[in-house]
Structure formats: structure tokens, C-alpha cells
């Protein structure tokens, strides 16, 4: 056989080996060698699409009914954030967890850090913040602003004083509460909304704004409240060692 024929035969053999599908059996599972060393499982474990609800009570109802839940398995409830909770299975043979159900709170967010005219600001405060703590004082102040060319606004960098209507004709001074302690709707409605300080500011045009002033610490309190609620509602399942909760 000539050298050229030997070379052609070898090239043909290499081509056949590249096109050949090689199947390996490892730990009772079939794997195909897809790209020269990259193994792909022929029949991988199928994971269900995560069910999604929008309330903690819906999540609790699902777990209490033990729907699609084998009692031989222990589930993990992870409080991901103030607006998200996920229920996970134990690690399977592939060292993966299945996400069974997820609760995601549907909440309108207050436009923090943005100046709004007093009318829109009052609407947002009334609809997105609980009416307690300093909310009423802010509403009263925002509802009584009268600014003319900026002359009615006194600002020392910490608090502000604006001209406020006191009756049909008289004008007095009203101090703006800042920092103000407020309780916006920022987590699931089944739990207590954590309070936190906000800077309340009024610009020269009479527009109002709230600025968050706690560095996000409220999130830790909200997640702790969610964990406490779930521990109370699912106490029986936790005592029977079917559930664990982390936050």
C-alpha cells in the first residue's frame, strides 16, 4: 500500500471515529460523548416548573396540603428577600435542589428620591404608606404648602420650615418632620411592615420627596418577620421535622 493510500485510510478511520456516537454507562446512567470528552446524560432528571403564588398564605396552604410532596423528603424554605420566598427540595443524586414553589409579593413601590407635586405626593403617601407614626404630619405639611418664589421656605440643612395656611386667610409656620419614621408597604401584607427613617424634603417649587435614610436595614427586619410568620403558621410541620426555614 502506498504512502498516500495509508494516509487516506487513516483519515477515513479518524472521520469514522468522530462521527461515531459513544455511549458510556456510569453509576447506572447512560451518557453520550458529545464533543470528545464532554459527556451529556441521555435521560437527565426532569425538574418541574416552579409554581408561583403572590402571598405567604398561599405558600402556607400549599405546604399544609402536602400537594406533590413526599413525606419522606424534608423541604427547605428560604426567605430570599422581603418580597420573595422559595421552597426547595433536598439535594438529589445530581446534587441539585428542585424549586417547588415560590411566593413573590405584588407591591407598588413608592417613588423614593424623586420630587413630585404636592397632590401626587399626597396620593402616593396615602396609598403606599401606613397612616401611623409620622405619616399624618407629613400629609398635613404637604397639604398646606404655599410657596411664592421660594420666599416661604426656610432650610437649615436638617429640617425645613414652610409657610402653611391656617384658615382662610392667615399663614403660620409649620416644621417639616425630618427624619420621619414611616412604615411603607414593602413586604408581604401578612406580616408587620417594618418602620424606618426617611428624609422629607421640599424644593423651591413646593414639590415634595422622600429619601430612604436607613441604609436598607429594614430588609433584615422584614425577612425576620417573614420567618417568624412562617414558623408560627407551619409549627406542626416543623416539629415533625418535615420543614426547615432560613432567612
The per-residue pLDDT for 117 is: 93
- Give the DSSP letter string of 173-208: EEE--SSEEE-B--S-TTSPPPPEEEEEEE-TTS-E
When pLDDT is averaged across residues 90-104 and rounded to a whole number, the result is 88
| The pLDDT value given to residue 71 | 47
Query: How much is the pTM?
Result: 0.75
Could you write out the DSSP letters of every residue in 131-142?
SSTTHHHHHHHH
Give the C-alpha separation, 198 to 47, whole Å: 44
Higher pLDDT, 131 or 177: 131
3-state secondary structure of 242: coil
Give the mean model confidence (pLDDT) for residues 79-90: 96
202 to each of 106, 162, 196, how far by Cα in Å?
Answer: 30, 9, 20
Residue 45 has pLDDT above 90, yes or no: no
- Nearest-angstrom CA–CA distance, 86 and 24: 36
Q: What is the mean pLDDT of residues 216-239?
A: 96
Please, which pLDDT band fits residue 195 given cuts at 50, 70 and 90? Answer: very high
How far apart, in whole angstroms, are the C-alpha atoms of residue 75 and residue 87?
7
Residue 235 pLDDT grade (very low, low, confident, very high; cuts 50, 70, 90): very high
pLDDT tens column, 168-194: 333 456 666 779 999 999 999 999 999
Strand partners, 246: 78
Neighbours of 146 (CB within 10 A): 11
**Residue holding cell 405567604?**
56
Q: Which three cell numbers stand for residue 26?
A: 456510569
Among 30-44, 62-76, 133-147, 209-223, name the most confident range.
209-223
- Tell the burial category of 235 from Cβ atoms under 10 Å away from its Cβ (0-12, 13-18, 19+): exposed
Whether 23 shows a pLDDT value over 70: the answer reads: no
Percent of the chain at pLDDT > 90 equals 51
- What mean pLDDT is predicted for residues 59-87? 87
Q: Could you give the CA distance from residue 208 to residue 166 in angstroms, rounded to a whole number? A: 20
Amino acid at each position: 500500500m502506498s504512502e498516500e493510500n495509508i494516509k487516506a485510510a487513516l483519515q477515513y478511520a479518524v472521520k469514522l471515529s468522530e462521527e461515531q456516537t459513544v455511549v458510556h454507562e456510569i453509576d447506572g446512567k447512560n451518557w453520550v460523548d458529545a464533543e470528545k470528552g464532554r459527556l451529556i446524560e441521555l435521560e437527565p432528571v426532569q425538574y418541574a416548573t416552579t409554581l408561583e403564588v403572590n402571598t405567604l398564605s398561599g405558600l402556607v396552604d400549599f405546604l399544609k396540603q402536602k400537594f406533590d410532596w413526599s413525606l419522606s423528603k424534608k423541604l427547605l424554605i428560604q426567605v430570599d428577600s422581603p418580597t420573595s420566598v422559595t421552597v426547595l427540595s433536598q439535594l438529589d443524586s445530581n446534587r441539585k435542589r428542585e424549586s417547588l414553589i415560590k411566593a413573590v409579593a405584588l407591591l407598588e413601590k413608592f417613588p423614593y428620591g424623586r420630587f413630585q407635586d404636592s397632590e401626587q405626593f399626597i396620593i402616593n403617601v396615602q396609598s403606599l404608606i401606613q397612616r401611623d407614626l409620622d405619616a399624618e404630619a407629613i400629609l398635613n405639611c404637604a397639604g398646606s404648602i404655599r410657596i411664592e418664589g421660594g420666599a416661604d421656605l426656610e432650610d437649615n440643612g436638617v429640617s425645613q420650615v414652610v409657610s402653611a395656611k391656617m384658615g382662610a386667610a392667615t399663614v403660620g409656620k409649620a416644621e417639616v418632620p425630618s427624619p420621619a419614621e414611616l412604615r411603607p408597604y414593602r413586604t408581604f401584607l401578612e406580616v408587620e411592615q417594618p418602620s424606618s427613617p426617611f428624609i422629607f424634603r421640599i424644593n423651591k417649587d413646593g414639590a415634595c420627596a422622600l429619601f430612604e435614610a436607613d441604609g436598607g436595614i429594614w430588609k433584615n427586619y422584614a425577612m425576620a418577620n417573614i420567618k417568624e410568620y412562617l414558623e408560627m403558621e407551619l409549627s406542626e410541620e416543623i416539629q415533625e421535622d418535615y420543614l426547615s426555614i432560613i432567612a
